[in-house]
Amino acid sequence: MDYTGILKRAWHIVWRHKALWLFGFLVSLFSSGGGSRGGQGLQYTLSGRNHLAPGWIAALVVLGLLFVLIMIVLSIVIGYASRAALIGMTREVEETSQTSVASGWRLGRPYILRLFGIDLVIGIPIVIVAIVLVAIGLAPLLLLLARSEGATILAILLTVGLMLGVIALLIVLGLLVSILRELAFRQAILDGKGVLDSIRDGYHLARANVKHIGVMWLLLVVVGLVWGALLVPLAVLVLGAAAAPAVATYAASESAVASILVGLLFAIPGVLVLSALDGVYQAFHSAVWTLTYREL
């Protein structure tokens, strides 16, 4: 397999057909998990003197839950449609030398549920295995019930040793699952197979081509690290641009809500820029796997 040839071809496709950038941006934006800082949110104040009324707190909680629900639905619909579009558009470029945003939506929409199903079938057993492994790793803590110094030391040593092994095992398992996922997605989109057939045939394809897939994965890791290192200074700049006005607002008003809103106002454009740049890499990453799959 011509590994460097595939990397060059993937970049050529992504650079010449910038419609791919939009779907890469959407993958980056809607496939990134978001967190919330709960609990202490109930203590936020609108000013230094007035606490939020219970009615406002309830309304904010309901709005927050609705926002989370909407984001989950958008992540599923737009995220999977965009992933499918990137795969279908790369094949379209290879076969017709052209593609478009409209073509991407047309190619991506039919596979939303199929890709979601692949992730469910793969993900649920992995989550169960992870829970079991973590439980095994933490099991030596039961020795603390003995309430002796020797048992405590033994429990800590065994727990640390087992958890290090569990973490290493989960990292390897995550790597294998990520590769299987890439191949199963392409089985579904490029060969029109169902959920279970895509997973099964993706596994067989990976097993028959361990060397080629391993080398390509390593090359993508290197490219990803370089790309990430280039984005770090910009990410720090975005963080600083959002934090400075937020801190100044809090110093002037002593209002946590106002400072958070100001911080978000300055952070959102920066996050969108970072997602757009990461989207170019997402499009490249998808194109590499699609070309590799077609080669295999």
Q: For residue range 43-75, what is the model confidence (pLDDT) as tens digits?
A: 333 344 445 566 777 777 888 889 889 888 888
Contact 265, 243 (CB under 8 A): no
Q: Which residue has the higher pLDDT, 144 or 88?
A: 88
Joined together, the tokens standing for residue 167 give: 């973490």
Q: How far is CA 43 from the centre of its chain?
A: 31
Contact 39, 251 (CB under 8 A): no
For the cut 70, the answer to whether the pLDDT of residue 198 exceeds it is yes
Joined together, the tokens standing for residue 83 give: 């992933």
Q: If DSSP codes are grouped into helix, strand and coil, which group holds residue 38?
A: coil
CA dist., res. 122 & res. 126, Å (int): 7
In eight-state DSSP terms, residue 139 is G
CA dist., res. 59 & res. 279, Å (int): 35
CA dist., res. 261 & res. 267, Å (int): 10
Stretch among 28-37, 121-130, 195-204 having the lowest mean pLDDT: 28-37
Query: ∠181-115-294 over CA atoms, to 5°?
Result: 55
Stretch among 52-56, 130-134, 159-163, 272-276 having the lowest mean pLDDT: 52-56
Joined together, the tokens standing for residue 256 give: 């946590």
The pTM of this model reads: 0.81
Query: Using alpha carbons only, how large is the chain's radius of gyration in Å?
Result: 23
Distance of CA 278 to CAs 18, 29, 31, Å? 14, 9, 12
